[in-house]
Amino acid sequence: MEKNKALFIHGLHSDSGSTTGKNVSEILAGYGYETIIPTFDLLNCSETKERIKKIIEDENITLIAAHSLGGFYGYISLCETVKILINPCLKPEIEIPKLMLEGEVFPENLKKEWEDLRKWKADNTDSVERERTHGIFAKSDVLFSYADYMKGQGFEHIYMIEGDHKPAKEALAPVIDKVINSMKQA
């Protein structure tokens, strides 16, 4: 029997070694999932979207988990999978320029591209996708929180957990358990 496959999309300044990705992968392994954690160039929007689409299709992905800026790409991805967005940065055109490291150059064209994608997604999300999408937000995240934004967009599966921007495995596990069990009932 083939394992279910999940795709984890890391955040800015992270890669395939993401601590959050490893935590999510360990949790999902307990439910029989193999988690693919590639490295993405998140500041190259077109390339990132295409790679995500290709991985979803080629690997028969049944669940997307994504963190921070990766959460934005999970949010906008065109697929029929369950999505778990962990402290997603849903307005990257506002947040990401503030988070650039010294010496990094932010591609200015990205602001408009991200904003346009976010607005398009807000206008083109149906009730089925809202049902499949789960937002996990840490109560002590000092970078940003888009829990109210997701609620305002009609998403119902919003979970508040203890922790900061990179929540501990112990905080994520009970919510991921709820998501997996809701998938079994669907």
The predicted structure's pLDDT at residue 183: 84
Domains of the chain: 4-177 (3.40.50.1820)
To the nearest whole number, what is the mean pLDDT of the chain?
95
Residue 88 makes CB contacts below 8 A (sequence gap 6+) with: 66, 67, 68, 70, 71, 72, 74, 75, 135, 146, 150
Plot region of 60 (φ>0 → left; ψ -120 to 50 → alpha; else → beta)? left
Q: Which residues pair with 85 in a beta bridge?
A: 66, 135
The predicted structure's pLDDT at residue 3: 84
Nearest CA to 85 out of 112, 63, 118, 56 is that of 63
Q: Which residues of the chain have pLDDT under 70?
A: 1, 186
The predicted structure's pLDDT at residue 50: 97
Query: What is the Cα–Cα distance from 183 to 174, expressed in whole angstroms?
Result: 14
The predicted structure's pLDDT at residue 172: 98
Concatenating the DSSP letter of every residue in 13-81 gives T--TT-HHHHHHHHHHHTTTEEEE-----TT-HHHHHHHHHHHHHHHT--EEEEETHHHHHHHH---SS
The predicted structure's pLDDT at residue 180: 95
The predicted structure's pLDDT at residue 108: 87
User: Is the whole-model pTM more than 0.75?
Assistant: yes
The predicted structure's pLDDT at residue 186: 65
The predicted structure's pLDDT at residue 105: 87
Query: What is the Cα–Cα distance from 18 to 87, expressed in whole angstroms?
Result: 14
